[in-house]
């Protein structure tokens, strides 16, 4: 499909049929990014007031919180917002049914996420949240001269994408000029095939998990696979911290800059790097507070916890949501003149690879999704001790059933081979690493390419 037809016809038709206001929101974002910081803050307060009024009317749990906080929604300010206590993932896990707006326009959709702490969360999101994520990414791609309909490679692995392998999905990807490669299966032969496919496809953008893209780049370098990709403008990474050595390696192999993004399934697309490697916040869609251990705002330039409000999260509102991520805001302005805030650094989240019995390299999310989808699990940690030996620590709640052990074992054998053994321990708590990080996955098996 030519980029013009995909951009002007196919993608807009898809969004219209799905009743997603992606392109109207994109049009608004293209204008609002050039507002001053004060004007953007006024826009945030306007959207925040609408979200709070919606939550007050449609969400019993939020309505009770707002009433008991003493907030004055008619005279809303950022100081007034701080009267509302923060909410946690545990709140969303345990009170989710009392947060959902059942009759939200366009309907709501179920999603499960684990976040950086290993605590599974099932939540609902609506059409406006979908549109804000899609429009935000389109705008960020345009910062790199990549537009809707241009060829993109996705090195991806969420089950939603991987399970839809029917002809309709394949046709849709082709019409949208997207090539989806499975990041959950990264054996040497697979990676060799991926590099050949990317070479033939000649994309404008490659998008994927930071560690998966770096692994593919390392394989190409070690095997002296020289790539000629004249259309490629940028490699966009997501899902994990992007380390300087990974950025350097990816740039060396693919011969284009790397742009990292920051976001989460529960809050949505949050920030993306511009061409100056400044990480710009999606201020129109997300309100970020950076707080200390006592819930007070830190000074700009100091590290604190990212507490976020999803301004398009009316289907299940995330208001003053403690993400557990540590971030640092910058006092710098966008070097291209936008009013969007600049994030200096995102610290904390990390993911390892796991090894299949046949030697294939499997992205850790392949195992994480198994635990996320198992009822009754509050927190978990997966440790691959040996090639076919997994230790799994589980903190469970009242919904846990003994059958969960069999479910997990069966799914791990399906993912990692029939000889895979799982040792599941029910524990009261999972302690952080010596470094202080809460790691969901640790592999003690050496990685070889």
Question: How is residue 198 written in tokens?
Answer: 């990317």
The CATH code of the domain at 145-256 is: 3.40.50.980
The residue ranges of every structural domain in the chain are: 3-130+266-273+277-347, 145-256, 353-443
Q: Which is more confidently placed, 167 or 63?
A: 63
CATH class name, domain 353-443: alpha beta
The closest alpha carbon to 350, from 243, 277, 191, belongs to 243
- Residue 95's Cβ-side half-sphere holds a number of Cα atoms within 13 Å equal to 18
Q: 3-130+266-273+277-347 falls under which CATH superfamily?
A: ANL, N-terminal domain (3.40.50.12780)
Q: What is the pLDDT of residues 154-202, one digit of tens each?
A: 998 754 444 555 566 777 778 889 999 988 778 888 999 999 999 999 9
- Is the pTM for the entire model greater than 0.75? yes
How does pLDDT run across 249-285, given as a tens digit for each residue? 999 999 999 999 999 888 999 999 999 999 999 999 9
Least confident of 164-168, 237-241, 303-307, 431-435: 164-168
Torsion angle, alpha carbons of 49, 112, 17, 283, to 10: 40
Q: Give tens-digit pLDDT for 318-327.
A: 999 998 888 9
- pLDDT at position 175: 82
In DSSP terms, 362 is beta-bridged to 354
Q: Do 308 and 318 contact (CB within 8 A), yes or no?
A: yes
145-256 and 3-130+266-273+277-347 share a CATH fold? yes
Report d(CA 394, CA 228) in Å as an integer.
46
First to last CA, the chain: 35
With contact defined as beta carbons under 8 Å apart, do 315 and 126 qualify?
yes
């Amino acid at each position: 499909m030519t980029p013009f037809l995909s951009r002007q016809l196919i993608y807009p038709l898809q969004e219209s049929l799905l009743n997603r206001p992606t392109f109207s929101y994109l049009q608004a974002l293209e204008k609002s990014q050039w507002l001053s910081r004060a004007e953007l803050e006024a826009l945030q307060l306007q959207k925040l007031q609408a979200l709070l009024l919606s939550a007050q009317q449609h969400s019993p749990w939020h309505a009770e919180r707002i009433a008991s906080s003493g907030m004055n929604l008619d005279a809303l300010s950022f100081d007034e917002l701080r009267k509302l206590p923060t909410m946690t993932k545990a709140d969303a896990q345990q009170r989710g049914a009392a947060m959902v707006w059942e009759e939200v326009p366009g309907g709501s959709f179920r999603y499960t996420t684990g976040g950086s702490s290993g605590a599974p969360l099932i939540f609902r999101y609506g059409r406006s949240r979908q549109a804000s994520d899609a429009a935000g990414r389109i705008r960020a791609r345009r910062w790199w001269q990549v537009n809707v309909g241009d060829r993109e490679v996705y090195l991806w692995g969420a089950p939603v994408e991987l399970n839809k392998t029917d002809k309709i999905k394949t046709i849709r990807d082709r019409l949208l000029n997207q090539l989806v490669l499975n990041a959950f299966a990264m054996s040497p032969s697979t990676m060799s095939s991926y590099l050949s496919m990317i070479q033939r496809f000649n994309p404008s953008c490659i998008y994927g998990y930071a560690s998966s893209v770096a692994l593919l780049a390392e394989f190409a370098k070690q095997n002296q696979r020289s790539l000629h990709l004249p259309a490629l403008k940028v490699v966009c990474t997501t899902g994990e911290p992007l380390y300087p050595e990974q950025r350097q390696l990816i740039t060396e192999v693919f011969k284009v800059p790397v742009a990292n993004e920051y976001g989460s399934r529960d809050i949505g697309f949050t920030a993306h790097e511009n061409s100056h490697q400044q990480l710009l916040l999606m201020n129109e869609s997300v309100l970020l507070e950076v707080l200390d251990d006592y819930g007070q705002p830190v000074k700009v330039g100091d590290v604190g916890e990212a507490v976020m409000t999803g301004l398009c999260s009316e289907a299940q509102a995330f208001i003053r949501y403690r993400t557990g991520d540590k971030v640092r805001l910058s006092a710098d302005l966008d070097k291209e003149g936008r009013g969007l805030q600049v994030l200096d650094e995102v610290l904390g989240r990390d993911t390892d690879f796991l090894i299949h019995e046949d030697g294939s390299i499997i992205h850790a999310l392949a195992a994480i999704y198994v635990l996320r989808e198992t009822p009754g699990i509050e927190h978990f940690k997966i440790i691959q001790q040996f090639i076919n030996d997994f230790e799994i620590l589980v903190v469970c709640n009242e919904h846990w059933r003994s059958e969960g052990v069999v479910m997990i074992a069966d799914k791990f054998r399906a993912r990692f081979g029939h000889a895979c053994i799982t040792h599941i321990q029910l524990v009261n708590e999972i302690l952080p690493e010596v470094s202080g990080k809460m790691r969901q996955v640790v592999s003690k098996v050496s990685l070889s390419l």
